[in-house]
Amino acid sequence: MSLSALQQIPADVANLADFEAHARACMSEQAFAYLNGGAADEQVLRANRAAWDAIKLWPRVLRDLSGGHTRITLLGREWPQPVALAPIAYQRLAHPDGELASAYAAAAQGAGLILSAQASMPMQGVAQAMLSEADRGPLWFQLYWRDDRDFMRELLQRIEAAGFEALVLTVDAPVHGARDRERRAGFKLPDDIRAVNLGGLKKPLDLAPGQSAMFDGLMPRAAKWAEIDWLRQHSRLPLLLKGVAHPEDAREAQRRGVAGLIVSNHGGRTLDALPTTAELLPMLRATMGEDFPLLVDGGIRRGTDVLKAIALGANAVLLGRPYVHALATAGALGVAHALRLLRDELEIAMALCGCKQLSEAGPHLLWQTRL
């Protein structure tokens, strides 16, 4: 697979937020509503961003920072920077090159990539784009559970054969949230865009009169703890769970051998009455101990946000909507530029806070209001 001709970065783009207006101009109203909207009144969508803004850094000065870097080690491999592209579905809604463009950009910038199960480009081509770069970040595959074990077994085999290095099961979205903005826009997938890696059709609901489509149809098919055990038994890849919010669920995941958690409220797209990820992160770090892998997403826009997340206990962060805005604006070059901007801002924040490497970032780097 090849990419479209390179596009230009607009001259007025100085940070990740600047891509949004350009993305809106490049996309249909329906596609923008789908990719950018949240659930219900979008309170969580707004609160995620506000929570990072509310955290203040407390810098140290006059330190020797020569030899500093943004590298981390997670799940047995080195990451050039603590950033991965979050799994976002149907990226061809934003740009014809879709997930392939995102993969080339991530590989070029040393960022990780988590490919959505609902990707609109074949997983093999996306994996090849990442694997061809020696200094790339990690390559993971995100799953939604489908109540068809034969299908899931075959999917796991394809994921491993393509070269993916870990599985990420999304557990906080067994059903769609009530996404009003998307419904008002009348969003429907175009005929030429589909989840190309998910062959076949889901089984139709078989309901008796008076039964609930939700509680008698959809929820019996949703993943439960037994499915976590099944996935670990049928794949050699480490398994992370995305969307665990409660400490008891986090402890249960750890007991069952899960390799890590992604602290997420689905970018505000599922339940519009959740804590922000910046609030959840330190609680889950305290629950899981200092060595258990934790990543976080939701509202990350600045390099200072990345440093704040590391200081609160994250090992790495996921970047979501901003890279889709960059993709819509300028394809692979746009995503690469967004990642470079974020890394540059992270290095600036580290330097100005007296932080030579990210292992030095902790709660002491954050200002706490004193009486």
Q: pLDDT tens digits, residue range 177-235?
A: 999 999 999 999 999 999 999 986 677 778 888 888 888 777 878 899 999 999 999 99
Which pLDDT value is given to residue 221? Answer: 81
By percentage, how much of the chain surpasses pLDDT 90? 89
- Range of weakest confidence among 134-143, 211-220, 333-342: 211-220
* Percentage above 70 pLDDT, the chain: 98
Contact 124/162 with Cβ under 8 angstroms?
yes
pLDDT tens-digit readout, 28-64: 999 999 999 999 999 999 999 999 999 999 999 999 9
pLDDT at 5: 79
User: Is it the case that residue 330 has pLDDT exceeding 60?
Assistant: yes
pLDDT of res. 1? 67
Q: Which residues carry out catalysis? A: 266
- Write the pLDDT tens digit of every residue in 275-304: 999 999 999 999 999 999 999 999 999 999
Mean pLDDT for all residues in the chain:
95
Q: Where are the alpha helices (DSSP H) in 163-191?
A: 180-184
**CA-to-CA distance for 327 and 160, rounded, in angstroms?**
27
* Domains detected in the chain: 16-196+218-365 (3.20.20.70)
Cα–Cα nearest to 357, from 4, 84, 72? 72
Residue 370 corresponds to which tokens in the numbers above?
A: 């004193």
Q: Put residue 148 in one of left, alpha, beta given phi > 0 → left and psi -120 to 50 → alpha.
A: beta
Query: For residue 107, what pLDDT band results from cuts at 50, 70 and 90?
Result: very high
Q: How far is CA 138 from CA 53, 75, 297, in A?
A: 28, 10, 16
